[in-house]
Amino acid sequence: MTLPLLLAATVEHAAEPGVVDSFLQTLGHFGVEWRLVLIQLVSFLIVLAVLYKFGIKPTIATMEERAQKIGAGLQYAEEMQAKLAAAQQESAAIVKKSQFEATRIVDDARKTAKDYLDKQVHEAAAKANDMQLKAQQAIELEHKKMLADARTEIARLVVVTTERVLAKKLTDADRASYNEAASRELTNV
């Protein structure tokens, strides 16, 4: 960078014949030949151009490409983190909803089971009451039948006994009237 400035300053002062000559003389005193410096400068610029074109420029392009890939990778990683966070939130929401649904289903099942149990208990109680009523009715009918049978049997025994007692002392007409009276009395009881 300083060489072009030096050359530019030399060209500006070239109008003054003494400055360029004195500069070249000064370089000559130090053993520097301006023609060789100029050739080395041109060689250096050619080497610099070749290195830049085939070495530095591809290296910079590769570095920029890698930087872009790294940037894209980082951006992709950030996007994936955001998607992962969203997926985790969504899965947490789904789990929460599933738990709510499971709780609701269990509660519904409990309610249904309780209703079914209550219905079965009521039906069993109604059947037991019906059976008890039928049994009581059957007992009452059996009791009435037994009482009727007992009355009939007692009346028969009374008639038979009365006949035997009265057969010895009464006439047939008296026996018939006593038998009728005893029958009437027993049927009224």
Q: What is the pTM of this model?
A: 0.39
Domain interval for residue 158: 139-188
- DSSP state letters, 100-165: HHHHHHHHHHHHHHHHHHHHHHHHHHHHHHHHHHHHHHHHHHHHHHHHHHHHHHHHHHHHHHHHHH
- Domain presence at residue 47: no
Q: What percentage of the chain has pLDDT greater than the value 90?
A: 52
- Domain presence at residue 180: yes
The pLDDT value recorded for residue 185 is 77
Total domain count, the chain: 1
**Which of the residue ranges 12-21, 76-85, 174-183 would you say has the lowest mean pLDDT?**
12-21
- Domain presence at residue 108: no
Could you report the per-residue pLDDT of 132-188, keeping only the tens digit for each?
Answer: 999 999 999 988 888 888 888 887 887 777 777 666 666 778 778 877 887 887 777
- Domain presence at residue 6: no
Cα(129)–Cα(179) distance, integer angstroms: 46
pLDDT at 81 over 70: yes
